[in-house]
Amino acid sequence: MNEIVEDAENPEANAKKIMYINRRAPYGTIYALEALEVVLIGAMFEQDVSVVFMDDGIFQLKKNQDTLALDVKNFSPAFRALETYEVEKLYVEKESMQARGLSCEDLLVPVLELSSIEIAELMEQQDVLLNF
């Protein structure tokens, strides 16, 4: 059995490793917005959070989004607010980026670009994986 030992002296030691995995483009479906809201609300619980963007999820971070003519909310600026919520581990999968002809300069927020092998390794270390 995995015993969870509470360590009152060191709250960081109690933090669960939670990874959000985003694989859907924005606006076409509600997944991206839902994920963002869950990340923002979940940030209140001060866990060890990371957010991964792969497949079409990469498109959520594309610069210059303008939804004025669509009459839906452009939620992309909120990705830059993640830092103020102390959600600082943002990763993109290199293979997904290359497949879509994107580089980090095309994205509206600083991210760490990791290979699928590196992301697979991180996934293995998580307590919770949440998919959107």
Partner 1 sequence: MLHTVNKSPFEKTSLDTCLRLVRTGAVILLIEDAVYAATKNTVIEAKIKRALTQNRIYVLGPDLDARGLQDSEIIDGIEVVDYGGFVDLAGEHRNVQSWF
Partner 2 sequence: MSIEVNGNVFETDEEGYLATLSDWSPDIAAAMANEDDCDLGDNHWEVINFLRNYYEEYQIAPAVRVLTKAIGKKLGADKGNSKYLYELFPYGPAKQACKYAGLPKPTGCV
The tokens of 94 are what?
């290199």
By CB under 8 A, residue 100 contacts partner 2: no
3-class DSSP string for the chain: CCCCCCCCCCHHHHCCEEEEEECCCCCCCCHHHHHHHHHHHHHHHCCEEEEEECHHHHHHHECCCCCHHHCCCCCCHHHHHHHHHCCCEEEEEHHHHHHCCCCHHHECCCCEEECHHHHHHHHHCCCEEEEC
Q: Find the binder of partner 2 among 14, 48, 55, 85 (CB under 8 A).
A: 85
Residue 80 interaction partner, one of partner 1, partner 2, none, beta carbon < 5-8 Å per kind: partner 2
Residue 75 interaction partner, one of partner 1, partner 2, none, beta carbon < 5-8 Å per kind: partner 2
Which stretch in 7-15, 42-50, 102-110, 114-122 sits in contact with partner 1 by CB under 8 A? 114-122
> Taking the CA of residue 48 as centre, how many other CA atoms within 13 Å lie in the half-sphere pointing to its CB?
13
Q: How far is the CB of 72 from partner 1 (least distance, A)?
A: 23
By CB under 8 A, residue 67 contacts partner 2: no
Q: Find the binder of partner 1 among 33, 36, 49, 54 (CB under 8 A).
A: 54
Q: How far is the CB of 2 from partner 1 (least distance, A)?
A: 8
Binding site for partner 2 (CB under 8 A): 37, 40-41, 43-44, 73-75, 77-78, 80-81, 84-85
